[in-house]
Amino acid sequence: MNKAMRATLLAAFALALLAACNAAPPAQVDTEGADPRVVQARGTLAESEQATIAIFETASPSVVLVISGGRAAGGFNNVEISSGTGFVWDEAGHIVTNNHVVQGQEIIVRPPGGEDVRATVIGRAPQYDIAVLRLERPTQARPLALGTSADLRVGQATFAIGNPFGFDQTITSGIVSALGRQLPTQEGREIADVIQTDAAINPGNSGGPLLDSAGRVIGVTTAIFSPSGAYAGLGFAVPIDTVARVVPQLIENGRAPIAGIGVLTADQSIATRLGVEGVLVWETSSGSPAARAGLRGTDQRAGVLGDVIVQAEGEPVRRLADLTNQLDRLGVGGTVRLTVRRGDRDVEVSVPIEDIGAPTQASAPTK
């Protein structure tokens, strides 16, 4: 490009820039007289939405916040406070929640929109993670309608109402993701037939009701499985059929019987290392139903394994939960038919089921 052309282009650019700087401002848009935005009519809510709203409005007044507090080791001012959820069980105003929610010395229940009420734990069933509270003052809330967990089907709708992270009166929805799960407790037993749901359950939901599409309680939310500690789509609830069997016993007696036969079983990892398929009897309690029925424990000095329970009521026993589930199903006062492997032969034994009381060691409970 020669010097004359370059000079011409620079001059043209300068003139264009000057013209732009001196140009009149853009004309303002006249909005006077414009039609205001009109809110469109929504129409009727979908049936599913109406159903969810009805469930929440009916059930939520009976769902409460449970606060548990107490002084922890390490100093007078070191106070531990935890919170969870509970719900009104009966006309007497008893509150059902999880046992792990109410471990503090002071229990406060906060009804929706109401004043805090002191509460007392009148019964605990740690083997099912269930506790019952009595309020100092009666509540006006109605008890929730109870359903059954016996006829649940994977895929049906579920609704959880609770207080996740302290945000009270929260409803989440999902489906029954699976049935028949086993959930370990701190007492060394496992809760049978646990409901798995993908309805969002977080810390603070524990002890709240899991409802079906009819607004009936089908379970008590008790735990989540999450590497992060927050919702990950895996929530669990104690089946209402178990709760309905246990709660009246807690109200009347303060505890629920623990069905057992009086055997101390080997840890499953030990049994596996020994090549045992089933539940290995480590020892029998003196005078227990198992001892009276002739079950044999392991002789460590002689290196002789004890009886291995391989069936209960004709069903395979592969781990301890298979045995305890059968004992719970038959109940105290019943009799369980066991098949045990003794050496190279199988032996049939009938053993009465008794209330063995709370285990003395959670790591090695007697069953």
In the chain the first and final C-alpha atoms are separated, in Å, by: 100
Q: Which of 168, 90, 166 is nearest to 133 (CA)?
A: 90
What is the C-alpha to C-alpha distance for residues 89 and 244, in angstroms, rounded to an integer? Answer: 10
Active-site residue identified among 129, 307, 322, 328: 129
The string over 201-227, giving b where at least 16 C-beta atoms fall within 10 Å of a residue's C-beta and e elsewhere, is bbbbbbbbbbbbeebbbbbbbbbbeee
Alpha helices by DSSP H, listed for the chain, are 3-21, 47-59, 240-253, 268-273, 289-292, 320-330
Question: Are 197 and 235 within 8 A, CB to CB?
Answer: yes
206 assigned to active site? yes
Active-site residue identified among 83, 206, 212, 322: 206
62 assigned to active site? no
82 assigned to active site? no
Active-site residue identified among 83, 100, 173, 198: 100
What is the C-alpha to C-alpha distance for residues 44 and 282, in angstroms, rounded to an integer? Answer: 65
Catalytic residues: 100, 129, 206
